[in-house]
Structure 1
Amino acid sequence: MSKEITDKIYTAFDEMSQRSTRPRRLIAERLIQLANSGHDFTTDDLWQELRSLDPKIGRATVFRSIEKLVDKGLLDRIEFADGTHHYRVCGGTHHHHLTCTQCHRVVEVDLCLPTEQLNAIGNQTHFKIEGHSLSLFGRCETCRS
């Protein structure tokens, strides 16, 4: 993952609070590791991991931090067909995800609806579309064999 993503994560944490606390540093460092590995995570799994490093880290601190990073566009919330979700540091470029309904493998997809189609939907429904999310589900090659 690029130095740019690392800088954006640290900057986002600086903007969230004037204080650089140990919990915030631990969260930022772990997210950078996850970004470098390309792995997705649940907030609960992240909290449990961080508790092994700092037993006093609050669940609410972790959950609030993750939601703020999603709001800033630094984390993507990945929805699965079964209603669960994970998070992933993706890098901020517009894309969508394809998820396996069996093993929960996640693949980034550089595919989008054409602007004309989004405009037509907006005109038909009398909405001004401000953004969109496309969720694709299926079974990966490994799970099909």
Structure 2
Amino acid sequence: MSGAELKKVGLKVTLPRLKILEILEQQGDEDHHLTAEDVYKILLEQDEEVGLATVYRVLTQFEQAGIVRRLNFENNLSTFELDTGDNHDHLVCVKTGRVKEFVDPIIEDRIQQIAKEKGYELSGHSLVIYGTCKE
């Protein structure tokens, strides 16, 4: 995502926003969902002078603009991922906190069927499976 795309969603292009967006694009993947503290630590490692409060504020602005999704799991930590518009679910390790994404067409079909059977028009869903990973 570029500065022009930030403008398109109504956000002013600032260095902190660009840096945080860059971190989410480079560091956040299907196996690595970032907390605000993770983003802050990476900024510190890059010698960027951005405060933790700014990181939280920018991530909240990104969430409101539809750029990122905030995920709240049972470990009471909010993690953030870029909102790519795809539909996926999550596995969470209860020991390490590691989050892994997955997509299963059978589960997706069944969720659609259940919604239809119960008379719901599905607008979205969230499935989180908790367990212990091998690591």
Matched, 1:91 2:84: yes
CA distance in 2, matches of 1:38, 1:107: 5
1:86 Cα deviation after fit: 1.7
SS of residue matched to 1:62: helix
Consecutive unaligned residues of structure 2, counting only runs of 5 or more, are none
Consecutive unaligned residues of structure 1, counting only runs of 5 or more, are 1-6
CA distance in 2, matches of 1:17, 1:75: 14
Percent sequence identity over aligned pairs: 26
Q: Which residue of 1 aligns with 2:94?
A: 101
Letter in 2 for 1:105: R
Say how many residue pairs are matched: 129
Q: Using a 3 Å threshold, how does the CA distance of structure 1 residues 128 and 91 change in structure 2: closer, same or farther?
A: closer
Deviation string, structure 1 residues 67-119 (Cα, Å, up to 9, x no partner)? 23334544333333333232233633111111111112222121334312023
CA distance in 2, matches of 1:71, 1:97: 22
Q: Which residue of 2 aligns with 1:120?
A: 117
Please tell me the root mean square deviation across aligned C-alpha atoms, in Å: 2.9
1:16-95 matches, within 5 Å, as: 16-18=10-12, 20-35=13-28, 39-51=32-44, 53-55=47-49, 57-89=50-82, 91-95=84-88
Query: TM-score, with normalisation over the residues of structure 2?
Result: 0.71
SS of residue matched to 1:69: helix
Q: Which residue of 2 aligns with 1:4?
A: none
Q: Using a 3 Å threshold, how does the CA distance of structure 1 residues 119 and 70 change in structure 2: closer, same or farther?
A: farther
1:120 Cα deviation after fit: 3.4
